[in-house]
Structure 1
């Protein structure tokens, strides 16, 4: 078994106010922690990996297919691989949570 806390991973500011930490990775999935400051935006992007996640703190707005999906603490989501999506923290407090990717996303471009 492998375990890791966000404080033990390498945190990267992928875009202004968006902090991502690559955590554990297995043969079929990988886990990433996110912390997004108020007003920060994840630009539209897509990747081959299916992405499932959980909002631990704050409120996060996803933009998928010209639709807004507002998620609150305790809610989860899944985005199919190849689906273009963006996200914004429109609240006054940071949002944080975890993403799980399948297949594992062990070398995302934001780590460069």
Structure 2
């Protein structure tokens, strides 16, 4: 699969939140998440493994009730079915990967 920038699917959430979908398949999904300062990614869980890498900005991430501030160059992993959420402390860009694909986001 090839996805050119001009063909990229972008989904917006609350004001100041957008997700850009990259090439992927049923077993792997990657996106770029852009969050403006102050945007809240509400606490949730899902049956997928997740890895996020902070490209720029800063987030307060809560995983299983534990809060941590992450900055550009930091990453985090979320096990399946673990409650997690985030608040952008600065304008933030993240690369996120899920396995398997999150059909609920498509």
TM-score, length-scaled by structure 2: 0.87
Where does 1:1-112 land on structure 2 (aligned, <5 Å)? 2-4=1-3, 8-91=7-90, 94-108=91-105
TM-score, length-scaled by structure 1: 0.83
Structure 1, unpaired ranges of 5+: none
Kept in 1: contact 2:57–2:89 (CA 8 A): no
- 2-structure distance, mates of 1:7, 1:56: 22
Structure 2, unpaired ranges of 5+: none
In the TM superposition, what whole-angstrom CA distance separates every residue of 1:16-51 from its partner, at most 9, and x where no partner exists? 221111221124211011000011101111111111
How well do the aligned residues superpose, as a CA RMSD in angstroms? 1.8
- CA deviation after TM superposition for structure 1 residue 66, in Å: 2.2
